[in-house]
Every structure is written in C-alpha cells, then in structure tokens.
Structure 1
Amino acid sequence: MIIFANPKIRNLFISIAACTFIFTIVSIFLVKSDIKNASIFMAISCIAFGMAVLLLCYRFFVQQNRIMEDAVLQIRQYISGDRTVSINCNDEGELYRLFHEVNSLVGILNAQADNEKSSKKFLHDTISDISHQLKTPLAALNIYNGILEGEAEDNPQIAEFVKLSENELDRIEILVQNLLKISKLDSGKIVFEKVHENVYELASNVLGHFEVRARQENKKLSLSGDKDITLKCDHNWMIEAISNLIKNSLDHTDKGDSIDVEVRRFASIVQIIVKDNGSGIHTEDMPFIFKRFYRSRFSQDKQGIGLGLPLTKSIVEAHNGTIEVDSTLGIGTSFTMNFLIPTKL
C-alpha cells in the first residue's frame, strides 16, 4: 500500500502490532495460568497496552505536526516575498509527495514572475523608445501647424482644418505621455516620494488648472471638505490621479452641469470624492471602465483615449488605496478614492 511508503507510518503500525502481540501473549498466559488475582493483572496489562499505543500515536502526530508547521512557515515566507524557500521533501509518502508538488508550484510561479518582470521591462523600454522617437516628428508637426495657422487667417476653412489638426496632435501627445506613465508604473520603476500633503490644498490646485476650461464650457467646479486633512502621498502622482477624474467628469458633462470635489476623513481612511451630475455610466460599461483603451458603445465622447481611469487606478493602488465608482445613467457619477491612514500602535 502507498500509505506504508512513509517509514514513520510503517514504524508506527509495526510498533502497534508488536504491542498488540505482546498484550495477546500476556493475556493468554494470564488466562491459562492459575495465578491469583489474574483479572487484576489482566486489567493492568490492558491499561499498559492502551498507554503504549497512545504514546506511540502521540509521538507520531507530534512529529507530523512539526513537519506541517515547518511547511506552513516556508509557505508564509514565500507569500511574504522570499522566493528562495523550499519545503523539505526528501522522504517518502503522500505528505512528501504533496510537498514536492508545492515546491514544483513555487518553481513555476517564480518562472512566471521572472517572465512577467521581463515582459514589463520590455514593454517599458519599447514604449520609452517609441515615445522618444515620436517627440521629434510631433514637435515638427506642431511647428508646421503653427505656420499654417498664421497663413490661414484669411481662409476660415483652412483655419478650421488647422484647429482640428492641432486637437489631434494634442491627443497623440497625451496618449504617448499616458502610455509612458502607465508603463513606468507597471514596470515598478517608479519610486514614489511620499510626504505629508494637505489634501484640500492639493485638490484646490488641481481645480485651478481646469477653471479656464470649465468657464469656457459653462460648467461649475466646487470644492468642499475639511481644510486640515493631510495624507502621505506623492505630490505629482496624486495630482495626476485627481486631474484624470476631474477631466473625465468634464468630458461627460454638458453645459450648465457641475463637478464637485469633496475631501473627507474618517477614523482610518481619507477620501477624495469627485462627483458630477453628467450623463452617468451605462450598466453594461461599469465592469470595464478601468480597462485600458476601453470605449463604450454608448459613449458620445470623441476625445477620450481610455487611459485616464486605468492610470488613476494604478496610482491609487500604488498608494495602497482603492477606487470606487457609483453611477446612475442620466443622473451622474461619483468616483471615490480611499486611502488608509497608518495606525500607530
């Protein structure tokens, strides 16, 4: 039987069998002999047999428990990031077969992690190279567009085409910048310089960048909340995250609509909420809004490139936070970024 491949289990059964044999011989001897108080001796031998079996089982299960505790410790170390751990499986038996499979799984996961790391590095390097190569032609196209704009003052049709061309060049530049940012986050090459920032002031500065656009589109921007809330974060990346949410709201609101930013603090979290009363998100799109390049079939937005929300999600998660969305079609959308406040023990 496979179970007896483990020498410890085999020895346990042999020991129990030996105790049973000895007890049987003693019992036969006591039954056939004319010893006074034989029943007492029989009871004593029965108790001794039971204690011997219990002792053998106890020793066996203590050893098994020690082996399992060591295996659990190795697995926890692996989960904590130590990729060099390995469970001792130099014995035979079903338990050691399990340990061998766990070691094989660890090897496969390590190989996949190495491949993923290489893929991310390749992606980052490729996007970096492409974005670098695009800078020169983009700069040249912007110059040519500026020249055409100056020459088209007396021709409204050409001026309109020049304006459209400028918008498309801006879109390409934003796309390249966002791709580069996401690839940097994915590759793990970004070192976040986290310092304590006043969240209200941070959000106020971001809103200031969108005031001109909001005024041109006749939309209202507002900020509310506690002015003394602080959060340990990377200044530039947090501005990027908030900016993307506000831009998304501006892209999906109409003339006369409003975008409200609220800063709140609870016992253990800081929240930054960006809420609008715009078109809302269709139920079909809700599971996919944080996927890269996702475009809804219901969307009338022709300017979005589908990278703002995924980039925001990556930034929030890099700060050990979460992002939630609540939206009702035709009523509005609310994005909530949650950041844990480290507790002092």
Structure 2
Amino acid sequence: MLALFVGTSIALTLIFVRSTVSRDLRRFDAAVVMNDLVEYAAIYASSGIKGVLDVFPAGQSSDSSAIRITSPDGIILFEEIPPGIHVYAWPAKPPSNDWSARKTVLQELTSPETELRLTIGAIRLRDGNYLWFGRTDEEAQRYQHNITIYLWLAGILAAAVALLPVIWYSHEVLIPIRSFTNSARRLHLPEGTARLMVPRAIPELQTLASVVNAGLDQILSLTRELQSTNDQLAHELRTPLARVRGNLENLLDKSDNAAAQDAAARSLEEIDRAAQLVQHILTIRGGDHGALRLYRQQTPVHQIITNLVDLFTPAAEDRNLTLGIQQGLDLVLNLDRELITQAISNLLDNALAYTPKGGKINLRWQAEGTGVVIFVEDTGPGVHREEMQMIWERYNRGSSAVVRHPGIGLGLSLVRAISTAHGGSVGVTNRVTGGASFWIKLPQG
C-alpha cells in the first residue's frame, strides 16, 4: 500500500510537471510569434516587401514558419508558406477591423491532417496592410517529448530511490510484525509451547519477543511444576484414602449407634468422591504421558451407547430433556470398554448440565476409515470459538461453565486423555441450529 502511494504520488507529480512545461512552451511560442511580427513589421516599414522576402528565408525554418501580407480587403499581396502549413485554414482578415496602428492579435489553429498546432499573429502596418506570421509547435513538441522522457526516467529513478526505504521498512518491520502476529495467535494453543517468532526483525521487535517468550517459558515451567505436584499428590493420596475408607466401612459394620452409622455413610460418599478425583488426575496423567494401561476387548460401539442412553434417560427426564440415539452401523472396535464408557459419560454429564429445559441431547456415531467417530450433540449455548481448544486442558473451564456450574475442570481433560491413550482425538464444534457437538474419534485399535 505504501509503495502504491509513493508510485502514485510520483506519477501525479510528473503529470503536473509535464502539463506545466507544455503550457510554458505554448506561451514561449506565442512570445516568439509576437517578437517576429514586430521585427518583420519594422523591416517592412524600412524596406517593403522586398526586405521581408530577403530576410525571411535566412532567419526562419522553411518547415515550421510562414509569413503573409494581405491588403485591408484580405487580398494576399505576398506569402511564404511551406507545404506542411498549407493544411491550416488561415483567416482572410484579422478578427477585428477597429485596429490602432501596430496592434497585434494572436490566434491558434489546428488541422485534422496533423497533430501540430499553428500559432499565428497579425499586425496592422502603417500603410493599412496586414502582416501575418505563423509558427508551428513542432519544435516545442520535440522539446516536450524529450522532456517527458527525461521526466519519466527521473521519476523511475526517484521511485526506485523512494521505494528503497519502503522495501526496507516492509522487510524489516512489516513482515516481522506479520510473523509476530501470526505466532501470537498460536499462543492460546493448549500445549503452551508456542512462542513469538521474529527471526529477521529490527532489534526492538526481537527484544520484545525475547521478553514475552521469557515470561511464557516461566509460566510454562510453573504450570508443569504445578501439574507434576498435583499428579504426585494424587498418587500419594490414593493409599491414605483407601485406608480411611476401610476404617469407615469397619465403623459402619460394627457400630450400633445410628448417628455414627449415618456419619460414616456420609463420610464414605465424600471419600469416594475424593478417590474418584484422584483417579481422574492419575488417568489424565497416564493419558498425557502415554502410560495409561488399557484393557482392550472387542466391543460393539452401539452396545456402549445404548447402555449409556438407558442409564442417563432418568436424569434427562428429571431435567425435562429429551435424550435420543441415532442408530449407526454395527461397528466392533478393540478398546477399553470401561474407559470409553467413562469418557462418553463425561460428555453426557456436560450436555445434561448445559442444555436448558425442553432441550434435546442426541448420541450418534459414524464410521471413519477403520475407526469410529462418536458425537454427543445438545441444544445448549454452545462453546465460544476461542475456548474450543482451551476447555480440553486440565483445570480449564469454559466461561459459561464457570458462571453456572461448580467444578475444577477435569471432565473434558479426562475425555481427551482416554481418547489419546486409544490413539484417537477429540473436538467440539457449534451446530448451525444451535448448541454444541462434542466428538470422540477412535481408531480400530
């Protein structure tokens, strides 16, 4: 854009200069005609027509100038007109009959037979006759042509010189800024390893990128340290929780105190919830690191989904929701049935939580290659585009989830970990008719 502006500015300047030169050359031709008229009038006054005839061929080009003397009635008394100027229609008389002595007039003539213009002037002589002198702009056009060439050459050189800083600016600033912007767009990716890239940029941009990248490295390091700590804590808590649960079960079996039994039962529920949370963290860790143990078996996909629909139908009816199933092909995959059931259950839990009353939830599956893609679709609010990658990370939740429902953000990360452990993938899109469509893609295994 900047180069276009520079080029346009130079072109307009050249056009303006050329127009100005053309106007000045026409004025110069007019001045020459006026001066020659006065000169020939003086020669005529002193030597008559013979003096003009003697002087004219010696002082003028035979191709570009012409002279004529006419009587007051327009009768030609003398003329010297080269063939190229005969194409112009000379007036018989000057445009005004009320002339004072030696008054001059100018007129510009054109002809369809030539591109040249003829500037003629007339002066009234002392004996009442009229002296005409004409001059074509052939020489002026030649000068103008040469000047135009020089102007365009100068313009091209000026453009080249002017574009050098533009090219430098584009190469050293604009292109790095675009690269900077494109790499900045990747910073939201879940891995957290994206960095600002400006390999060839001015020092200021490189410094800015280095400072930002250093901050991102520190954030990534702290995040990984936090995740490692959580994983370690989860691993360490599993055994103590099992012991506490055993003690509570023993208390529940042996105590005759109703209040103690009730407290023990409630405590067991909380212990189970904590143990499930620990197990989720460990499962996610195993899936992320490729260490999750799978107990694969040949399992009909439709059987898993049908069982889940039967299991979740009462909960859906309690919320005044319609839970449906769209039958697909009878596919059998080699997978960990328990983990895949858990992953789809998490997606159903989300759909039940965010679909408003009167809404619909639909499960369907379709073959893709030798594997399958399982969809859980709802008529809820959908997912913001900028959150479609982030919600699959540990401890990250969508903006609507934070406002409406409590939780720590492990459900979808567990789904991704299970799918990854099977060699699959996960994703979400917003449906055209409203709501979200979560999917799990699984290979044959």
After TM superposition, the score normalised by the length of structure 2 is 0.44
1 CA distance for matches of 2:359 and 2:305? 16
- Where is the strand percentage greater, Structure 1 or Structure 2? 2
C-alpha separation between the residues in 1 aligned to 2:407 and 2:238? 19
Change (3 A) 1:66 1:217: closer
Partner of 1:95: none
Aligned counterpart in structure 2 of residue 273 of structure 1, from 376, 391, 394: 376
1:38-117 alignment to 2 at 5 Å? Answer: 40-58=142-160, 60-61=162-163, 64-65=166-167, 68=170, 71=175, 75=180, 78=183, 85-89=198-202, 100-117=203-220
Hey, what's the Cα distance between the residues in 2 that align with 1:142 and 1:110? 47
Offset at 1:122?
A: 1.1
Hey, what's the Cα distance between the residues in 1 that align with 2:400 and 2:412? Answer: 6
Q: Which residue of 2 aligns with 1:337?
A: 438
Among 128, 143, 146, the alignment partner of 2:231 is 128
How do 1:232-271 residues align onto structure 2 when only pairs under 5 Å count? 239-248=341-350, 261-263=362-364
Q: CA, structure 1 residues 216+190, in 2 after alignment: closer, same or farther (shift >3 Å)?
A: same
1:109 partner amino acid: V
Contact 1:316–1:337 (Cα < 8 Å) also in 2: no
- Distance in 2, matches of 1:218 and 1:38, equals 96
**Alignment of 1:164 onto 2:277:** no
Task: State the one-letter code of the partner of 1:51.
Answer: L
Aligned-partner Cα distance in 1 for 2:316–2:269: 17
CA contact (8 A) 1:292 1:310 kept: no
TM-score (norm 1): 0.54
Higher relative contact order (CA 8 A, sep 6+): 1
Deviations 1:288-316 (A, max 9, x none): 973699474xx7xxxx7453555368669
- Candidates 277, 291, 304, aligned match of 1:205: 304
1:119-145 deviation digits (Å, cap 9, x = unpaired) = 111111110222122122201101102
Q: Secondary structure at the match of 1:172?
A: helix
Which shifted more, 215-224 or 104-113? 215-224
2:428 aligns with: 322
Deviations 1:67-105 (A, max 9, x none): 63573585488568676642243xxxxxxxxxx443233
Distance across 2 between alignment mates of 1:230 and 1:321: 22
Q: Partners of 1:151 and 1:259 in 2: how far apart?
A: 47
Q: Percent identity at matched positions?
A: 17
Secondary structure at 2:199 match in 1: coil
Q: Is the 8 Å Cα contact of residues 245 and 274 (structure 1) preserved in structure 2? A: no
**Displacement after TM superposition at 1:43 (Å):** 3.3
1:147: how far off? 1.0
Report the residue type matching 1:307 in the other structure: G
The 3-state SS of whatever aligns with 1:87 is coil
- Count of paired positions: 275
Indicate the residue corresponding to 2:398 in structure 1: 290
For residues 174 and 124 of structure 1, the distance between their equivalents in structure 2, rounded to whole angstroms, comes to 18
Q: What is the CA-CA distance between 1:150 and the residue it aligns to?
A: 1.9
For structure 1, which segment, 115-124 or 312-321, has the greater mean C-alpha deviation from structure 2 after superposition? 312-321
- Bigger-Rg structure (1/2): 2
- Measured in 1, the distance between the counterparts of 2:339 and 2:158 equals 63
Rounded to whole Å, the distance in 2 between the matches of 1:39 and 1:252 is 82
Is 106-115 or 70-79 further displaced after alignment? 70-79
Stretches of structure 2 that go unaligned for 5 or more consecutive residues are: 1-5, 29-58, 62-138, 187-193, 293-298, 382-386, 388-395
C-alpha deviation, 1:45, in angstroms:
2.5
Distance (whole Å) between structure 1 residues aligned to residue 247 and residue 367 of structure 2: 53
Change (3 A) 1:74 1:263: same
In the TM superposition, what is the alpha-carbon distance from 1:171 to its structure 2 partner? 1.1
Structure 1 range deviating more: 106-115 or 41-50: 41-50
What's the RMSD between the two structures over aligned residues? Answer: 5.9
Any conservation in 1 of the 2:378–2:435 contact (CA below 8 Å)?
A: yes
- The structure whose residues are more often helix, as a share, is 1
What's the offset of the Cα at 1:215? 7.8
Which residue identity does 2:155 align to in structure 1?
A: V
1:131–1:176 Cα contact (<8 Å) kept: yes
Q: Any stretches of 5+ residues in structure 1 without a counterpart?
A: 1-8, 90-99, 194-199, 282-286, 327-332
Q: What is the rounded CA distance, in whole Å, between the counterparts of 1:210 and 1:313 in structure 2? A: 18
